[in-house]
């Protein structure tokens, strides 16, 4: 029998771990918590639905408090299944102690939670399954281009010629046994650093592109 202090310490450590996760990431907490949460969600509407079974026990209080403090929804309490599909353990009575909780922000991504009674796992516990559907958003990579318009200036153009020439002469004095991939990287860096130093990057590139698009449509 685990005493209350050990339980509280476990949930404190779990809480400290969860809050380190960035809010834009999905948090899913699942496992056999031995926590009975019951069907009465009064005061806990933001944490659970009304489709739990039985009555809440001490572990259930600790688990629901964790979910409340971390903005998690207890998934299996949200979906209206028959009792036989909610039970996660039969020992000796039917209990709902295995849980799958998800970040409240991603609640709509959770489509269903129920047990899989037909799965033979050699235990008095039933396998719990959940269906998720996530919308993956592509991140736009910021593209920076060099301000090549500066090359129209004779002084800049001349400097752009001399800078790589001087640096290539230094590279040519290095050990010829240098790996060809290392030499390729060195040459690439010469052009990259020269362009950044002399040309710099174009500013407000996106605004220019939008302006040209609008002007083209008029």
Task: Point out the least confidently predicted range of 13-27, 35-49, 154-168.
Answer: 154-168
Global pTM exceeds 0.85: no
Task: Point out the least confidently predicted range of 64-73, 97-106, 174-183.
Answer: 174-183
Confidence of residue 69 (pLDDT cuts 50, 70, 90): very high
Structure tokens, 176: 């010829």
In angstroms, how far is the first alpha carbon of the chain from the final one?
77
pLDDT tens digits for 101-120?
A: 999 999 999 999 998 877 66
- C-alpha 157/C-alpha 120 separation (Å) is 75
Average pLDDT of the segment spanning 16-20: 93
Confidence of residue 24 (pLDDT cuts 50, 70, 90): confident
Confidence of residue 218 (pLDDT cuts 50, 70, 90): very low
Q: Return the pLDDT at 74.
A: 94
**With 90 as the cut, is the pLDDT of residue 72 above it?**
yes
Contact partners, residue 42, CB within 8 Å, separation at least 6: none
- C-alpha 188/C-alpha 183 separation (Å) is 9
Q: Return the pLDDT at 214.
A: 52
Confidence of residue 137 (pLDDT cuts 50, 70, 90): confident
H-state helical runs in the chain:
4-18, 58-69, 83-86, 154-172, 180-194, 205-217
- C-alpha 105/C-alpha 16 separation (Å) is 19
Q: What φ, ψ does residue 131 adopt, rounded to 5°?
A: -105, 130
Q: Return the pLDDT at 73.
A: 94
Average pLDDT of the segment spanning 28-53: 90
Domains and CATH numbers, the chain: 4-132 (3.60.10.10), 148-217 (no CATH)
What is the DSSP annotation of 41-57? -TT-TTT--S---S---
Q: Return the pLDDT at 171.
A: 67
Contact partners, residue 202, CB within 8 Å, separation at least 6: 144, 145, 146, 147, 208
């Amino acid at each position: 029998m685990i005493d209350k202090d050990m339980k509280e310490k476990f949930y404190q450590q779990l809480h400290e771990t969860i809050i380190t996760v960035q809010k834009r990431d999905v948090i899913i907490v699942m496992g056999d918590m031995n926590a009975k949460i019951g069907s009465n969600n009064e005061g806990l509407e933001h944490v659970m639905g009304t489709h739990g079974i039985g009555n809440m026990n001490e572990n259930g209080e600790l688990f629901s408090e964790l979910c409340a403090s971390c903005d998690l929804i207890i998934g299996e309490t949200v979906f209206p299944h028959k009792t036989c599909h909610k039970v996660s353990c039969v020992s000796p009575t039917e209990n709902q102690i295995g849980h799958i909780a998800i970040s409240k922000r991603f609640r709509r991504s959770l489509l269903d939670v129920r047990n899989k009674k037909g799965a033979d796992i050699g235990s008095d516990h039933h396998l719990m399954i959940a269906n998720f559907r996530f919308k993956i958003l592509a991140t736009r990579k910021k593209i920076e281009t060099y301000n090549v318009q500066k090359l129209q200036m004779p002084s800049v153009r001349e400097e752009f010629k001399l800078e790589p020439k001087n640096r290539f002469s230094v590279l040519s004095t290095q050990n010829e046994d240098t790996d060809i991939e290392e030499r390729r990287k060195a040459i690439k860096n010469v052009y990259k650093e020269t362009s950044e130093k002399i040309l710099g990057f174009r500013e407000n590139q996106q605004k220019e592109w939008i302006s040209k698009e609008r002007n083209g449509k008029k």
